Structure 1
Amino acid sequence: MRIRFYVLVSLFYGLTLSAQDYFPKNDGVKAENNNFTTFINAKIHITPTKVLDKGILLIQKGKVIEAGKTVQLPKNTVLIDLKGKSIYPSFIDIYSDFGVDIPKAAASGGRSAQYEPSREGFYWNDHIMPENNAISRFNYDSKKAKELREAGFGVVNTHIQDGIARGNGALISLNEFGNDSDRVLADKSAQYFSVTKSVAKRQAYPTSLMGTLALLRQMYFDADWYAKGNVTTKDLSLEALNANKGLVQIFEAKDKDNVLRADKIGDMFNINYTILAGGNEFESVAEIKATNATLIVPINFPDPYDVSDPYLADYVSLEDMRFWNQAPTNPKVLEENNITFGLTLHDQKSTSAFRNNLLKAIEYGLSKTKALEALTTIPAQILGKSNTIGSLLNGSQANFLITSGDIFDKGTVLYENWVQGQKHIIHDKQLKDIRGNYNLIAGEKMFQLSITGETDKPKVEVKEGEEKLTSKINYDDNWLTLSFNNKDGDQAFRLSAMVASSSDNLVGKLLLPDGTETTFNAIMTSAFSEKEKDVTQKKPVVVPIAFPNIGYGYSEQPKPESILFKNATVWTSEDVGIMENTDVLVKNGKIAKIGKDLKPSGATVVDATGKHLTAGIIDEHTHIAALSINESGQNSSAEVKMEDVVDPKHIGIYRDLAGGVTSAQLLHGSANPIGGRSAILKLKWGASAERMIYYNSPKFIKFALGENVKQSNWNSFSRFPQTRMGVEQTFINYFQRAKEYDLKKKSGQPYRFDEEMETLAEIINGERFISCHSYVQSEINMLMKVAEKFNFKVNTFTHILEGYKVADKMAEHGVGASTFSDWWAYKYEVNDAIPYNAAIMQSQGITVAINSDDAEMSRRLNQEAAKTVKYGGMTELEAWKMVTINPAKLLHIDDRVGSIKEGKDADLVLWNNNPLSVYAMVEKTIIEGAVYFDLEKDKQQREAIKKEKALLINLMLKEKDNGSPTQEPKKKNQEELHCDSL
């Protein structure tokens, strides 16, 4: 093929892309640029996996015509020789707010508890806004576009980042020379969702993550009901939601556990969300992989903490230190696990920080091919635009980068970013690279000159002998100016030169300190090269992942073992009572045998002589391991689920295990009469939230009575009920509605699926059990009467501190009690509480449990149970049943746990003393045959934590010494949640 070189200036080349081709031209002669532009001799990355050395790229009218080794060139072709340079597709940011302002925050004055929508003709909840269109609020931002192009981006997918259902996005090209008719590649590129409420709306509901998830589920149920023509009124929100079902559905999670929550909703409604991740997915990569979700991953890695002050260093938790150390491995881990992901600028401190973080991810193991895919072909694939963007295949938009070499090498210069065939200069590619070492002859003296830094922003060092001189350099448009002082600093040498492309040496004008004008000559002795990394010295040190990934996490998740406890004092919590010198064999997660002189049969033998073996403690009422406790936006929140907000890395789980607790009911709070659905957990430290929840879990819900639900404790006057009378009417109203709902459902008529009514109907049908927060006898009686009116029974009154007054009526109703051992007088409605309450209620035939409702008390429930021996004369065995088999009965799990019986789950605790003693310590806590707490291992972990912290502190100090920006140490206080936590 014959190649002819043309002058690179054309009369037509400077023409911008036209707007609509039918728009009249009234400002001159009509002309269209039909020239071709051809780039030759470049290393062309057509796709991340298809690379041509010395390839040819032919473009016209903003499109790629052809890329290959041999290309037939049209006559009207402008040729650009890129010998020694590389071409890459421009990057795509799939999660951006470019050109779209976030709405301003609502005026102060608190959130409204309104139930009617503030917008006529739209969905009842103001945080659901699928009708929003990003394009209607779009304004091209030239300054931001320039920053993005300088970072290598040619296309962004933008949307209004506000609300739970956020509406449509728009796909925008960053072409400075076009207008919006050119730039808008898609005005409906995707539909967006999040777990965050609108800052611009004042509606109170939802007030919690579980409320947000419930709202999303109900929104989809309502959209289906609306789509089937069952609604006579107009709802523009649901119409938009349904109309946009065919678009890519993008969900902002921003946390590994929220990724799982979003995927769960997607599975429920057959939606394959593309999910914005949080950067911590490496901690739960197996669960993330199992979702099969495509992720959008930010790479905003945290700065090291400034731990130079040892006192302030103590503020930083090991969890946060680990995250700083491990976060850069997140893209590598995702790649190793074959998880599809794109990368995004989202949440970057600055656009310029993106490249540094990208190079860091590569340093920590992300392959360059995967990095390029995550910025080009994968975003294009997600958006369904693979045929137009993300590659340099024939027909694609001419969006590409021209670089000095490998785009992921630190020293590589980005020269140009072509967007829709339009050249945007980032750095002048004609600028000669003058970096290197020189012998500088200036006047009659010899100096050593070293030029480093970036090609267009060089740094200089001038030495005379071994002494470093003060110096300055400027280099622009191949024009060099340099000045330096003598040793004494009182005389200046000033140099200037036009750099010649034909020589490596520098020659030019010199002004000596005395004003004499002469010439200088700088002879290159060696060219500049990036210092080779010492792999053995500079390979990043990354500490191992733990399960969960905090201080007391385990290097491996506990697994079931075969264990034989020999010669223990066994507290069975069964009719046989306490058995002395007895063996218990654990196999396959179950209690296999109980007796004397049992054979190991391959099991690990534990000498339990002089020790006590009990069933695991069960806490009927706890608030540990939850991200939120109350959904307080409405007087009924039966639609929300505590299972949605289980926090598997909550330190309270580990502490409870150290206190012998193996199971717990995670209850909603008491902010409203009808609370949310419970989560019954096995405290499997290191497991996912899903694995902690009881298989085939009994269905429970939290109700509440008293001061909290009528809001007397926080002076709220915007929500019904405000009195105890109103509380009763709330129950009657909701149960009547649920009864009518259930009758319509059972009749076979079409009905709108309502999660709240479904839950309440389950209560009426005996399929869901109530655990009710209660104090005074009048309200206890009231709820039993309401239940009897609707033909069901209350399962458990929790707290129930005036239960001793109505124990006979409770027994007649058939309700159980879960109470405190000796709490009283901490608020007005508890003034009549007495420590004999538990014993009196049990004497009337009521199943009674002792619960915690408090993180500290939960790990001391053995001592709380012991108090009933003093207050009421309970036997030790009956006292112990109050924290084992009795709560198991209340939770309907007594066929699985709560006692030591052959065939039951091996949820066991080994104590070094009588478990009711204040001196008793837990030596081992076992769940389903796996050891989740071991006292000796705990001691080892404490030492390991000290060593790991010291290692990470030293790594952070080293980073600071190397000039890395740091962040101030922050103390991470984990809030203890209670019934009334809002």
Structure 2
Amino acid sequence: MKKRLPLFLMAVLCSITIYAQEYFPKNDGVRTTDNSYTAFTNATIYVTPDRVIEGGTLLIHRGKVVAAGKKVSVPDNSLITDLDGKYIYPSFIDIYSDFGVQKPSRPASRGRTPQYDASRKGYYWNDHVMPEKEAGDHFTFDNARARELIKYGFGVVNTHVPDGIIRGTGMLVALDSADAYDQRILQQNTAQHLSFSKSVASAQNYPTSLMGAMALIRQLYRDAEWYAGGHADNRDLSLEALVRNRTLPQIFETGSYQNDLRAAKIAKEFGLEYILKGGVDEYQRIDEIKATGARFILPLNFPDAYDVTDPMLAQRVALADMRLWNQAPGNPAALAAHGIPFALTLNGLKNTSGFKTNLKRAIDYGLDKTTALKALTTVPAQLLGQAGHIGQLDKGSYANFLITSGDIFDEKTTLYENWVLGQKHIITDMGTRDIRGQYRLSVAGEEYTLTLKGSIEEPSAELKSDTTALKSKITYKNGWINLFFTPEDKEGFTRLTGKVKDEKQLEGKAITAGGTESRWTAARQKPHTPGDKDKKDSFIPQRLPITYPNKAYGFTRLPETQSVLFKNATVWTSEDTGILEQTDVLVKNGRIARIGKDLPASGATVIDATGKHLTAGIIDEHSHIAAASVNESGHNSSAEVSMEDVIDADDINIYRNLSGGVTTIQVLHGSANPIGGRSAIIKLKWGLPADRLIYENAPEFIKFALGENVKQSNWGSAQTVRFPQSRMGVEQVYADYFQRAREYAEAKESGKPFRFDYEMETLAEILDGKRFITCHSYVQSEINMLMKVAERFGFTVNTFTHILEGYKLADKMKAHGVLGASTFSDWWGYKFEVNDAIPYNAAIMESQGLNVAINSDDAEMSRRLNQEAAKTVKYGGVPEEEAWKMITINPAKMLHLDHRTGSIKEGKDADLVLWSDHPLSVYAVAEKTYIEGVPYYDYSLMQKAQQDMVRERNTLINQMIEAKNKGMKTRAPEQKAEKHFHCDTEVYGL
């Protein structure tokens, strides 16, 4: 492996080498300088995708372009090539490559015991942050791969080590055949590379989640600012490199539209411009993607069709995955239509051969050819700040260009040569004759029909005797044709060979299976025409419309706020007014406008609610749906992470919750550590992007946890390293962190420079009463412990969730000032610390004056919380109205949202559910669910959607079968298991 020399030393050596070559010849003879020019005349030259010269001349000298135009003065000492009728294009550029770099591997000695500290000294505290890494230090030129890339039109790649969250800098490499290392390397340190993925070379635990990776990046930027200001006590080579690299292009690998938006969120916070290496699904949220203002690098790894010929196996494939196959090739065209700049990359393709096929699919799906050419030439050059050197053929740019027979994206076009740094690489000999067409073949007195098609340089053969197809194979190289076939009713091969002199009349020597020699001739009856198409990869399915979200039950058009008058309903107000019979509720502008009898419609849509029940939307105080991850378990405190970063607006459980009347949930961090992450309070606005689900000006919450999970009781025998390992240790964690937070706040208020710390900021907000705690809890002694710690530091615990031994100390909780006790209705005995749980818990706590809610902590339970609340009527005799409040106004109070939602009151948000029956009944169906006056769920429309999905699946299945019959690649059906998060998800078995 070649090592990169220090820049100053390389510069010195290069300068010495240049002058030494002029005056001191090598041992193998006298060195002469090549001063000749090379001119290509009479060509159609694409100087750039937008500047085309007809019948022009391209002049190059010493690896650079001298001129390109119609009137170019060609020096006498020029080698001239007449390209009459041929085309010249700039060679392609791939700016997201791992060409030639040594791939990191997992350490062979990695054990089962987790690693919490960094393995390096003098660098950042996290091994997955490596801005100091340079591609040149891990690079060896790969000749075989270079030849393959050259074959497909590439001349330059930007390579990097694709490992880690901060991956270091890339390097611009020319794919030339020169032996000199410094000639191939066009530029060191071209861009800083980032991702959300950890390094495989390190076992350091943190981060264990997507939200942890986002928090780490944020803290890293803050630390770099602190370091750049000269405040750090010790030298940090990682932070030095990060500060040094901040002026470089920042390329962030995301891989999906949701991660695009997450990375763009970080960029906006820090005033950065990321170049996002996206996925194939940006089209699904194209307006939000455009709003990021980011530039993109798009892969062409469109999914293959599923082999759905088996009806039973076809059932495994989700509608969303079928749609992705149908729609993804239109992703580049969608970005182009919205004016979003992008480059194209080979990254993600299993084989380089897929580049040409998938690029053609993208063009068939509407990608303009000029835009496609820009995405492979001028745009990647611009993204790297190399516009004057690569990606175009203006004077002074590198002589990297392609010579073709025609339009570079026409499937019938032949790529003849790829010149890199002025060095010629022959792909197809320009002297190769086009022998494609239909022939009458005569061999040893037998007549056959021979059809040659495919590409000029690699034709394929179809041979028939009358109507009988014969097995045959053809090779065509260096002007010689060799054809092998098995005659009908005979054994062995007849072998034909001959030099092609005239494509209209082929001839040569034939040797039969018996060894007899003779002559053969093939007279062309019909030439190959551009209209002839191979069967393979020619199928373009009719594209299905996008929905929001783009999966089952998505909206073809997003619903809008409606003015609605519910007539004659039984209204459960969840207020002191109680249950109102035969009452009207008027909704206007997303709010509850009036409540009363015989209200005028005032232009509103009237819904006859006679015999039905109208309630406020259900609120789930403890949920884990709509999240891409739930636990950051890399440290015993993860107060720096936020569930808002990982909201998954496409989670089908949002729709399922709406079908159960749920309108608001608190998405909580799990219970992997005593101090968990910040929560997200969202409204279930199905179809909207993640940031529009989050409550505006929502109160700030954080998840704490007690019990078995935080001390790693059930994590396995290897998980005995992280503090705490006992319940006593849990208390000490709280005491230590709050003391640190207090000292941090004092330093911040002192006016002196201080290092910004997201974790300490969050904990200081608790001390300051600006952030509220929801604590996962079971056992009486631990609940007491946390209240005492809180009182010691001057705050109260807002909510104890689970709280299955709450009945034992409800009076103490009341005295402490606990605002809410959010519990299960009847879960008990599922692990040791809940052995004392009883189903009367909610009723007992309610009787002691606590504000009690019923929560789910489960994606299945959350869609039937009305029935869970009903259980408190059975277990403890809680009145029906009070039971209903446990899933509406009570959790609203816990979340400090009761001024907005949780009850039916004039002026509040119109978060409403119309039930077919008594809402606590198992027979009740949520017929309509409104959020702020928008109908996000309708039972009758859900039934129609199910019928529509059956038809859509059938359409997609037929398309995939047709694609298979057309010769396109397919893959086996797969059923992707739904992941339901709980508190302990991603904790056990780490």
- TM-score bracket for this pair, using the shorter chain length: over 0.9
Deviations 1:31-53 (A, max 9, x none): 11111101112211111111122
Which residue of 904, 908, 928 maps to 1:904? 908
Amino acid of the structure 1 residue aligned with 2:930: I
- Select 1:820's aligned residue among 814, 817, 824: 824
Task: Call closer, same or farther: CA 1:205–1:483 in 2, change over 3 Å.
Answer: closer
C-alpha distance in structure 1 between counterparts of 2:501 and 2:855, whole Å: 84
Q: Structure 2: how far apart are the matches of 1:925 and 1:534?
A: 53
Once residues 544 and 534 of structure 2 are traced to their aligned partners in structure 1, the CA distance between those partners, rounded to angstroms, is: 20
3-state DSSP class of the match of 1:274?
Answer: strand
Describe the SS at the equivalent of 1:187.
strand
Is 1:861 the counterpart of 2:865? The answer is yes
In 2: Cα distance, 1:688 partner to 1:132 partner: 36
Other-structure match for 1:525:
525
Contact 1:582 1:594 in 2 (8 A): yes
The 3 A distance-change label for structure 1 pair 834 and 449 is closer
Q: 1:769 aligns with which of 745, 754, 772?
A: 772
Distance in 1 between the 2:572 and 2:869 partners?
A: 14
Aligned to 1:750: 753
Aligned to 2:499: 498
Look up the SS of the partner of 1:662 in the other structure.
Answer: strand
- 1:522 aligned counterpart, secondary structure: strand
The reply to whether residue 86 of structure 1 matches residue 119 of structure 2 is no
1:509 Cα deviation after fit: 4.1
Cα distance in structure 1, aligned partners of 2:63 and 2:193: 30
Matches within 5 A, 1:756-835: 756-815=759-818, 816-835=820-839
Does the 8 Å CA contact 1:821/1:850 hold for their aligned counterparts?
yes
The equivalent residue for 1:99 is 100
Query: Is the 2:624–2:981 Cα contact (8 Å) retained in structure 1?
Result: yes
Q: Partner of 2:305 in structure 1?
A: 304
**Hey, what does 1:197 align to over in structure 2?**
198
- Cα distance, 1:506 vs structure 2: 2.4
Contact 2:280-2:300 at 8 Å conserved across structures: yes
Please name the residue that 1:248 is paired with: 249
Partner AA of 2:460 in structure 1: K
The answer on whether the counterparts of 2:116 and 2:205 sit within 8 Å (CA) in structure 1 is no
Q: Are 2:123 and 1:119 aligned?
A: no
CA contact (8 A) 2:436 2:452 kept: yes
2:532, 2:611 → 1: CA distance? 64
| Residue 648 (structure 2) pairs with residue 647 (structure 1) | yes
The corresponding residue for 1:465 is: 466
Deviations 1:67-114 (A, max 9, x none): 111111111110111122211111000100001022111336556655
- For 2:533 and 2:498, the matched residues in 1 are separated by 34
Going from structure 1 to structure 2, the CA distance change for 1:511 and 1:195 (only over 3 Å counts) comes to closer
Is 614-623 or 474-483 further displaced after alignment? Answer: 474-483
Structure 2 unpaired stretches of 5+: 1-15
Q: Shift of the alpha carbon at 1:115?
A: 4.7
Is residue 977 of structure 2 the alignment partner of residue 973 of structure 1?
Answer: yes
The yes-or-no answer on 1:879 pairing with 2:880 is: no
Q: Helix, strand or coil for the counterpart of 1:94?
A: strand
The residue aligned with 2:218 is 217
Q: Distance in 2 between matches of 1:683 and 1:85?
A: 58
Alpha-carbon distance in 1 for matches of 2:149, 2:790? 63
Flag the 1:243–1:512 CA change in 2: closer, same or farther, 3 A: closer
- Corresponding residue number in structure 1 for 2:942: 938
1:111/1:202 contact within 8 Å kept: no
Distance (Å, rounded) in 2 between the aligned partners of 1:446 and 1:783: 95
Amino acid paired to 1:823: W
| Counterpart-to-counterpart distance in 1, 2:493 and 2:351 | 38
2:770 partner SS: coil
SS in 2 for 1:690: helix
- More divergent stretch after superposition (88-97 vs 409-418): 409-418
**Mapped partners of 1:966, 1:539: distance in 2:** 15
Partner in structure 2 of residue 9 of structure 1: none
Asked if the contact 2:326–2:541 (Cα under 8 Å) also holds between the matched residues in 1, the reply is no
Q: Percent identity?
A: 59
Matched with 1:675 is 676
Question: What SS does the aligned partner of 2:971 have?
Answer: coil
Q: Find 1:732's aligned residue among 724, 730, 735.
A: 735
Aligned AA (1:896): R
- The verdict on how the C-alpha distance between 1:445 and 1:726 changes in structure 2, with shifts beyond 3 A counting, is closer
Aligned-partner residue type, residue 978 of structure 2: Q
Aligned partner of 1:4 in structure 2 is none
Residue 166, structure 1, aligned to residue 170, structure 2: no
- Post-superposition offset of 1:874: 1.6
CA apart distance, 1:557: 1.8
Letter in 2 for 1:439: R
Q: How far, CA to CA, are the matches of 1:315 and 1:447 in structure 2?
A: 47
Deviations 1:612-663 (A, max 9, x none): 0000000000111111111011110000000111111111111110000000
Distance 1:486 1:898 in 2: 83
What secondary structure is seen at the aligned counterpart in 1 of 2:736? Answer: helix
Q: How far 1:137 sits from its partner (Å)?
A: 1.1
**Structure 2 letter corresponding to 1:765:** D
Task: Letter of the 2:338 partner, please give it.
Answer: N
**1:672-722 CA distances to partner (integer Å, 9 max, x unpaired)?**
000000000101111111011111111000001111111111132010011
CA RMSD after TM alignment? 1.9
* Change beyond 3 A, Cα 1:20–1:97: farther
Q: CA deviation at 1:461?
A: 2.8
Q: Does the aligned pair in 2 maintain the 1:298–1:343 contact within 8 Å?
A: yes
1:208 corresponds in structure 2 to 209
Shift of 1:448: 2.8
Partner of 1:454: 455
Q: Aligned pair in 2 of structure 1 residues 673, 493: CA closer, same or farther (>3 Å)? A: closer
- 1:137-165 Cα shifts (integer Å, max 9, x gaps): 11000011111111111000001111111
Tell me: CA distance 1:163–1:538, structure 2 relative to 1, closer, same or farther (3 Å).
closer
Tell me whether 572-581 or 828-837 shows the greater mean CA deviation: 828-837
What is the alpha-carbon distance in structure 2 between the residues aligned to residue 896 and residue 41 of structure 1?
Answer: 74
Partner residue in 1 for 2:568 = 567
Q: Distance in 1 between matches of 2:83 and 2:365?
A: 31
| CA displacement, residues 266-318 of structure 1 (integer Å, 9 cap, x when unaligned) | 11111101011011111111111100100110010111111111111111111
Per-residue deviation, residues 907-926 of structure 1 (Å, max 9, x unmatched): 00000001011111100011
SS across alignment from 1:842:
helix
CA distance in 1, matches of 2:248, 2:534: 48
Cα displacement (A) at 1:809: 1.2
Give the match's secondary structure for 1:188: strand
User: Corresponding residue for 1:480?
Assistant: 481
Alignment partner, residue 720 of structure 1: 723
Cα 1:836–1:470 shift into 2, 3 Å: closer
Cα offset, 1:802, TM superposition: 1.1
Q: What is the count of residue pairs matched by the alignment? A: 964
CA displacement, residues 866-896 of structure 1 (integer Å, 9 cap, x when unaligned)? 1111222221111111100000000001111
Deviates further, 827-836 or 905-914:
827-836
1:242, CA displacement in angstroms?
A: 0.2
Instruction: Give the TM-score taking structure 2 as reference length.
Output: 0.95
* Cα separation, 2, equivalents of 1:568 and 1:547: 31
Q: 1:471 to 1:871 in 2, by over 3 A?
A: closer
Cα distance in 2, alignment partners of residues 814 and 673 from structure 1: 21
**TM-score normalised according to structure 1 size:** 0.96
Superposed CA deviations along residues 324-354 of structure 1, whole A, max 9, x for unmatched, are: 1111111111111111110001111011111
For 1:6, the equivalent position in structure 2 comes to none
Structure 1 CA distance for aligned equivalents of residues 309 and 922 of structure 2? 42
